[in-house]
A and B are shown apart, each in its own frame.
Chain A
Amino acid sequence: MTATAADSAGTTGSAGTTGSSASGSTGPIVRLDNVRKEYGDTAALDGVTLHIRQGEAVAVMGPSGCGKSTLLNLVAGLDRPSSGQVLVHGEDLGALTETGLALFRRHRIGMIFQFFNLIDDLPALDNVALAAQLAGVPAGQARRRALELLGELGIAGRKNTYPAQLSGGERQRVAVARALMNRPALLLADEPTGALDSRSGEQVMDLLIDLNQLGQTLLMVTHDPRLATRCASRLVEVADGRIVAERAVERTA
């Protein structure tokens, strides 16, 4: 992992704003304060409070239906809390309009999904460049940066290949590259190795570790304890919509 990917990690968003919270350079960049999320009569999250500091790698674990993905969606601005506050870089996500949330996702975060979510009709290079082009970056400049990122991730040679022809690991690398395009302050990963074979999964784990070591703040959701112990510096356990445990983690090899 060299300087290019490192540019993406750490303190800056693509607009050049600092990644630290508005409250100060050492304050949490992600704050969930007493957050509740209801779907009908069901409380997917109930009174969750969680703070994530710059440079942390936090893994959220729990059984299916515990609310971990809901938590990630709230931080990503994909959903709104029923009550409580979600602040990322000082921005109250519950107060943003849909356009505001879109711009937030564009400039502040990068997302990695379990099933990659690449556009099948675009080759790898254009899938990665898409994120910057939506922000108005000219196509040529966006493609150059995309190529650099693909190179850093070891798949520059697959730049003109369509997702259907890529392996699972390659697709996830493309997805990671896309997530890093706009230099997000926060990288969110939802079961990033869930759809991968063990070898590919290992490669992706190594990637995430490298990014975090270069300063990228990372919040991931997983039910894979290996991923959690290898990549995370803090483990948060969720059950029935509540945080039941939090502990620091010694990374294993």
Chain B
Amino acid sequence: MSAVRVTKGPVWRASRAAVKRRKVQTFVIGLVVALSAMSAVLGLGLLQASTGPFEQAFGQQNGAHAVASFDTAEVSERQLAATAHAAGVTAASGPFQALGVSMQTGPDQGDTIQMTVVGRPQPGAGDVDQVRLWKGRWPSAPGEIVLDEPVGRPLPGPPGRDASTLTGPGLPAFTIVGYAYSVSETADAWVAPSQMAALHPDHLEMLYRFSSAGTDAAVKTDVAKATAGLPAEALTGFQSWRTTRAEMLAKLESLLPIMFSFGVLAVSVAVLIVLNVVSGAVVSGYKDIGIYKTIGFTPRQVVRVYVATMAVPAIAGTVVGLPLGIAVGQPMMDKAFDSLGGQAQISPLVDVACLIGVPLLVALTAYLPARRAAGMSAIAAISAGSAPKRGRGLKVQRKLAGSRLPRSVSMGLGLPFARPARSALTLAAVILGVTTVVFANGLARGMTGVSAASDRIGAVTYDVSTYGARPSGLDADAMERAMRATPGVAAVSAQAYDMVGVAGMTIPIGVEYEGGDSARMGWTIVKGHWLSGPNQAVAPARFLNRHHLALGQTLTIEENGRTARVVIVGEGVTGGDSMFEADWSTFQQLAPGQKAQSFEVRAAAGADRQALAARLRALDPGWHVAVRDPGDPNEGMRIISAVMTVVLSLVAALGVFNTVLLNTRERRRDLGMLKSVGMTPRQVVAMVVTSMGVLGLLGGIVGLPLGYGLFRLVVPLIEHAQGIDLPASLLHVYSAPLLAWMFLAGVGIAVLGALVPARSAARSSISEVLRSE
């Protein structure tokens, strides 16, 4: 240690000297703090986002508490504009001209879409509903249209078709010039105001924000007060923000338990690693503390030296890690939420919390052991950590010394016991790393299984459909016969869909009738069985729960003046609360003479999918053949899982790296001696890697059940949020080989962290270290 003059500024001089002298340690601490800060930002960001993704988006757009529609025949635009100043209204936008239309993507192409089109000059027109234009540009002339879609969502309509234009009966063709998103759902599409005259708007829209809109009743009262001065028939209806919020939360709810879990994991790992690394660095400097005391530093000055020494990498690491966390975290959350319509901005509060909290945590972690050492006598501090203390695993090391294991391995197994607190912190970080790997893996596999079950991936290859009446070409029956006769087709099922009345239910219910080879189309049944005979129904859990139904109960369906009774024989995986499947004979009873509206086709194993699609299309171009490509509804979950697994595993490995670095530095004299009596470089590496490998093994033993437990805890929350029941087969995602490699993930993390410092220790020069005490 260079001589330190005890003059003005000794604390700063000493800490600066310590930082310069221990460059590697300073760099490692800075790196660990940076990654921990990044992890903390991600974790806190996830925790914060899990509490209000709708509110964030709503606040960002200054969303509308009420979207009110008015009859153009009963009220003028001037009268509506005046309601912006009504009592209780804090902000308003409009009135905007609007109309409801049916549109298709291109003539005779794609699904028919019912849309509310609103004329609006700018996405941010008015104080309320600052629409987010996320692709393209706003319409500025007639013939241009912007569609309302959550960020990144593909255009609705048959995939694979040219979907750049929209047409509708009696309407001009529109070119889609952009996509925008309104969290308040104020429109399905926007056009330039100058376009509206040609479209003959049938209503006017006003967007309101109120001073109090916390309940449904309050919103209703607010709307009534705002429109009190208008003619009685003017208001035709309004949409409350609370309804919109409930719909979005239903979609987001499945993501929230995952975010919360990863958020807690990330913050925990960040805190643990900082505790481990910083306390270890201070403890390893006890000898220096003793020397400071011998030359006249007071205990308070000693503490300040160490806190100041740690402050340098702490501040540097935080300054680097914070923007890194935002750079990784914000796109992660954007990707996860945008497709669901929500928004999650990493709050400035998270940034402030990390900017202050991380260095504070480092300072506190440095303060406590430094204060302890400062309270010791100088000699005690100098010799602290070098002399064996009672209970420091000495018995374990003696036992290991007498074992049959290679000596380098037995020494490695004993090393963690020499520093039990440091080893425990490192072990905790490895456990959390393994827990994350196990949890994330199970989640990804489970959700993939659910998606595959929902979308029947691997069972249904093509969706075949037609739009509207077909004056020529193959009718449904002929098309089905032709498809069955096509080489490469393994199965064909027929579908028809209608809205029916069901006895005891006040709203129309959607029924999809299934015929043909529907049993071969991959339907996953949670309870009971698939349709196997006449007058049967299969319903999703949401439907059964909402209407308090169970398997074996009978539904009386009414359609077109005819009735039929069906027995609920099975519960499916997914579906809404107002639809179910029924068998083909029931369809024929209720709609005699009606034909199938669409088909699902299953390709034979080994069939060339593209060639088969071409053959099917060639049967009759009037029938649209689409390869089933459902996208990835779990993309958000997958992204969060992947990012957090990588980050947390890296942080855990870095914690191990630092532990090994400290251990080898503290034991450099022992290492030198071992080399002097003939320990080869390979034996040195084996010893050091073993010392961490044992922690990795323990990490696997503890982390595996923890990760599995977390998975079993979160999945029911997802089930509840989605209102579904998942079959047990979809939850058995951990096969024996998978469990084995995840168990070894802990060892992998530990070995990864230990390898570089182990090799460095093996190569280090020993001649000098052996001559010093």
Contacts and interface: CB of A to CB of B under 8 A. Distances in A.
A106 B678 contact: yes
B129 to A, nearest CB: 70
Interface in B465-492: none
Interface in A110-155: 111, 113-115, 117-123, 126, 129-131, 133-136, 138-140, 143
Nearest to B763: A98
B246 interface: no
Interface in B659-714: 669-670, 672-683
Contacts of B670: 117, 119-120
Contacts of B398: 122-123, 126
Given A79-B767, A117-B770, A164-B387, A135 B678 contact: yes
A190 B387 CA distance: 23
Interface string B745-773: 00000000000000000110111001111
A105 B401 contact: no
Nearest to B405: A139
B388 A99 contact: no
A101 B591 CA distance: 92
Contacts of A73: 767
B418 A102 contact: no
A119 B674 CA distance: 9
Interface string A39-56: 000000000000000000
A103 interface: yes
A44 B466 CA distance: 92
B767 A134 contact: no
Contact of B386 (A102, A120, A129): A120
A178 B674 CA distance: 11
A130 B673 CA distance: 11
Contacts of B771: 69, 113-115, 190
Interface in A86-105: 98-99, 102-103, 105
Contacts of A103: 678, 680
B418 A121 contact: yes
A143 B402 contact: yes
Given A78-B766, A98-B681, A121-B414, A139 B401 contact: yes
Interface string B399-436: 00111101110000010001000000000000000000
A36 B690 CA distance: 39
B402 A139 contact: yes
Contact of A99 (B386, B669, B672, B680): B680
Given A120-B388, A121-B414, A111 B402 contact: no
A182 B680 contact: no
B643 interface: no
A120 B678 contact: no
A120 B387 contact: yes
A126 B678 contact: no
A102 B403 contact: no
Interface of A: 69, 73, 76, 78-79, 98-99, 102-103, 105-107, 111, 113-115, 117-123, 126, 129-131, 133-136, 138-140, 143, 162, 164, 178, 182, 190, 195
Given A126-B401, A134-B407, 12 more contacts: A98-B681, A119-B670, A120-B387, A121-B392, A121-B393, A121-B394, A122-B398, A131-B677, A134-B408, A139-B404, A182-B678, A190-B771
Closest 5 CB pairs of A and B: A106-B678, A133-B407, A102-B680, A117-B673, A78-B767
15 contacts: A76-B676, A78-B676, A79-B767, A102-B675, A102-B683, A113-B673, A114-B771, A117-B669, A120-B387, A120-B670, A121-B418, A134-B674, A139-B404, A178-B677, A190-B770
